[in-house]
């Protein structure tokens, strides 16, 4: 996955335990951290897209502008009852951008 500084969109994460897709009906909690941004479900910003079977991690324009270009770490954690399972840390690629001004929607 490539993110350009200043982009604003939802990163889709397909979360699996083994071969099984993780949905809101299977777990008690989910955390995804990208760089220094942590989002959670059910009491947070993560959303599940039933159509595509992915978790949506929303990034704001200002958040991506503040990321350093290069490889940024990410990780997923799932809570089922008292069990907490974590993925390996993986990288997302953040590319620089020459447009560094925030979009003005006024």
| Rounded-to-integer distance, Cα 85 and Cα 24, Å | 15
Could you tell me what percentage of the chain is helix, strand and coil, using 3-state DSSP and rounding each to the nearest 5? 5, 50, 45
Per-residue CA distances from 57 to 9, 16, 85 (Å) = 8, 16, 19
| Rounded-to-integer distance, Cα 96 and Cα 66, Å | 11
pLDDT at 17: 95
Q: Which tens digits make up the pLDDT trace of 31-82?
A: 999 999 999 999 999 999 999 999 999 999 999 999 999 999 999 999 999 9
pLDDT at 104: 80
The SS3 call for residue 32 is strand
On the question of pLDDT at 105 being above 70, the answer is: no
CATH number of the domain located at residue range(s) 2-95 in this protein? 2.60.40
The SS3 call for residue 65 is helix
């Amino acid at each position: 996955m490539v993110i350009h500084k200043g982009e604003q969109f939802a990163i889709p994460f397909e979360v699996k335990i083994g071969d099984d897709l993780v949905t809101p009906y299977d777990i008690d909690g989910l955390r995804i951290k990208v760089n220094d941004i942590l989002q959670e479900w059910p009491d947070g910003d993560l959303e599940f897209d039933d159509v595509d079977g992915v978790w949506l991690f929303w990034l704001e324009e200002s958040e991506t502008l503040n990321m350093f270009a290069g490889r940024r770490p990410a990780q997923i954690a799932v809570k089922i009852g008292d069990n907490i399972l974590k993925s390996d840390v993986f990288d997302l690629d953040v590319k620089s951008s020459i447009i560094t001004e925030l979009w003005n929607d006024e």
